[in-house]
Structure 1
Amino acid sequence: MEIRGDTGPAGRPLIIPIFIPHMGCPHQCIFCNQRAITGKAAQTPSPEQIQQEVNRFLKYGKKLPSTTQISFFGGSFLGLEKATILSLLQAALPFVRTNAVDSIRFSTRPDTISQETLGLLEPFAVSTVELGVQSMNDRILDAAGRGHRAADTVIAAGLLKARGYKLGLQMMVGLPEDDDDGAMETAHQIAALRPDFVRIYPTLVLKGSLLAGRLSGGSYHPMALASCVTLVKRLYLFFKSHDIPVVRMGLQASDGLTRANDFIAGPYHPAFGHLVHGEIVFDAISSALDRMEKRPDPLTISAHPSMVSRVQGLNKQNICRLKSAFDIKKIALLQDEYQAKDLLVVAEQQVALP
């Protein structure tokens, strides 16, 4: 059975997550404490547990006008034992056959992709595969303890694209020995692989990780939140200019990072993506104001209702920053449901958002 790409109406897929924490991973990456991320000890979910979880989600989850997928993540799926891979897929397949869900997806390491491992998937309704790329620089991969090379990612992406799978690539910023230029170079190489989507994760220091020891010893310094937001903004705009959707920015509470004691340091924010989008909007408004010979006060900004929170910024920080930077006493924010979402009107001037 072959299903490639989204099979339902247009829209982002509704994901039913099945955790396989830190399983199938032959290496302990310097940033990883998978138990902290998932809050669970490593164990293979049984077919009965998978069935119960999917049924629970289908019963209480809101059905959206999109595809619905069972997603195995938290470990390296194709790094599992063959019998385990087949057992997990066989537990998920009946939900596809009854049309309760549309397809199956998973995340895995680039060096687990081969003609042999992909051959295991052919009888099943797998549509989407995500690769934990992290970096396209071998020196940085070595420093992170990844145990694979950038070339493995290139080969894996080619194999997946050739078989028609929807391809997602995950990258990290703030890894040891990496910097902004290195992150941008990784982005360029990722874009050349033409993925269907990308996720961008900041490097966080988690309790029990090897990076926690580096932090306490003073040999690693995590990125500041503001600097990380600015870098990820650059990455987001780069991928957007290449028509590659960025579907996630930042590790969020919904990813399972729910225990406060597990997080030690790094650019974590529960609304990281909102911070990035807010900065993009701030830049666009600032550029418009810079071009004005005379700035009106009060200043009116019109936006689609769904864009109001981005214009305001988190806790209305954008409004405060604009007032301070341009010496404006009052800003009136107007909502216009007929206005395009990617268009603002700043003092009667149209401003297109990148």
Structure 2
Amino acid sequence: MGPPDEADSAGRPLIIPLFIPHLGCPHRCIFCNQQAITGKSTRMPSVARIQTEVNRFLKYGKKRPSTTQISFFGGSFLGLEKGSVLSLLEAAMPFVRANAVDSIRFSTRPDTVYQKTLSLLEPFPVSTVELGVQSMNNRVLDAVERGHRASDTVKAAGLIKGRGYQLGLQMMVGLPADDDAGAMETAHQMAVLQPDFVRIYPTLVLNGSPLAGRFRGGGYQPMALDACISLVKRLYLYFKARHIPVVRMGLQASDGLTRAGEYIAGPFHPAFGHLVHGEIVFDAISSTLYRMEKQPDPLIITAHPTMVSRVQGLNKKNICRWQSTFDLKKIILHQDGDMEKNHLMVANHHVALP
């Protein structure tokens, strides 16, 4: 797996992912095949492996990031045995002492968070705890055999914030027994918990997961990609309106997911987040064009250079749709480095993106 996007520019955090697939999980959810998602084995990473991975990431970036964190993802960190939790944290400590890494973060299930398990973290520079919420609907949690209640998430979030840790919440869309309204309700209940950030993942059918058998038997139909993008767009805008950052939409195109036979069905795209942002821009510019008495042709759109790809859409999809919908012969994109990134000029109309 390549270095994360965060390493590509100065001033942005570098997160070094260390995967502990399925370890510490007392239940196996029907959608889960962590080995397929991460491309890693289910063995506990050794101290030597941790050192190798961390050093590899630290050597990659040419520019100094704002912060650097070692992150334990994939399993349920606080569900591990006490000795394993301490061993992993201690393996990360030399990098913190050497000032090569600022802090540690991890993901865990809501039903592994107690005062006792959080107390294990006190001697260590842990800054961020992410909860695998998936849904705040107990009927959906039962359908996916999640093994915890929505109330566990509420309690866990309170304990984490009470200890002063940054709180991240992860949700999934397209789960069995769920729908768009249910996903929006989950987002509402998550927002009430005042997380510092959220992640939104689509439900995929992975080889070796219990959901794969249900899919092959006709008992589960995954979301179509366009429908999933539309829903995640609504969720993104919902959280943004409440000043809650969405730090990821969609799964990374890891070696596991791109390996033949691992991914079976569902709304996977390696540029999922880009597609969502492209739709947000499309909606904003379309709304402006509809309000014009007459659209100028050629239509000139001015944007910050970093926004051009979102304006165009993947494979210039947005350009083609505007030309077709508004009968435009030509659209010209101008770049202006002085413009704010979330602001556009459409002809002589200012557009502020949501």
2:256–2:262 contact (8 Å) kept in structure 1: no
Quick one: structure 1 residues 28 and 157, their matched pair in 2 at CA, closer, same or farther if it must change by over 3 Å? same
1:335 alignment counterpart: 335
- 1:269 is displaced (CA, Å) by 0.2
1:322 alignment counterpart: 322
Question: TM-score, with normalisation over the residues of structure 2?
Answer: 0.95
2:39–2:255 contact (8 Å) kept in structure 1: no
RMSD of aligned Cα (Å): 1.2
Higher deviation after alignment, 112-121 or 246-255? 246-255
2:233 alignment counterpart: 233
Q: In 2, Cα distance between the equivalents of 1:124 and 1:255?
A: 31
2:38–2:254 contact (8 Å) kept in structure 1: no
- 1:42 is displaced (CA, Å) by 1.0
> Equivalent residue of 2:96, what SS?
helix
2:288 alignment counterpart: 288
1:298 alignment counterpart: 298
Q: In 1, Cα distance between the equivalents of 2:184 and 2:26?
A: 28
- 1:65 is displaced (CA, Å) by 3.0
Q: In 1, Cα distance between the equivalents of 2:11 and 2:145?
A: 36
> Equivalent residue of 1:296, what SS?
coil
Higher deviation after alignment, 246-255 or 146-155? 246-255
- 1:255 is displaced (CA, Å) by 8.0
Higher deviation after alignment, 122-131 or 43-52? 43-52
- 1:13 is displaced (CA, Å) by 2.1
- 1:31 is displaced (CA, Å) by 0.5
1:140 alignment counterpart: 140
Question: TM-score, with normalisation over the residues of structure 1?
Answer: 0.95
1:175 alignment counterpart: 175
User: What is the letter of the counterpart of residue 126 of structure 1?
Assistant: V
Deviation above 6 Å: which 4+ runs of structure 1?
A: none
> Equivalent residue of 1:344, what SS?
strand
> Equivalent residue of 2:258, what SS?
coil
> Equivalent residue of 2:29, what SS?
coil
> Equivalent residue of 1:257, what SS?
helix
> Equivalent residue of 1:18, what SS?
strand
1:119 and 2:133 matched: no
Q: In 1, Cα distance between the equivalents of 2:125 and 2:254?
A: 25
1:96 and 2:99 matched: no
1:219 alignment counterpart: 219
- 1:171 is displaced (CA, Å) by 0.2
Q: In 2, Cα distance between the equivalents of 1:335 and 1:61?
A: 27
Q: In 1, Cα distance between the equivalents of 2:163 and 2:11?
A: 23
Instruction: Report Cα offsets for 1:36-94 as digits up to 9, x if no partner.
Output: 11222211111122122212222234443311001111100000010000111011111
1:18 and 2:14 matched: no
**Unmatched runs of 5 consecutive residues or more in structure 1:** 1-9
Q: In 1, Cα distance between the equivalents of 2:240 and 2:256?
A: 27
1:3 alignment counterpart: none
1:48 and 2:48 matched: yes
**Unmatched runs of 5 consecutive residues or more in structure 2:** 1-9
> Equivalent residue of 1:244, what SS?
coil
User: What is the letter of the counterpart of residue 311 of structure 2?
Assistant: V
- 1:258 is displaced (CA, Å) by 3.3
Q: In 2, Cα distance between the equivalents of 1:255 and 1:93?
A: 28
Q: In 2, Cα distance between the equivalents of 1:115 and 1:63?
A: 39
1:106 alignment counterpart: 106
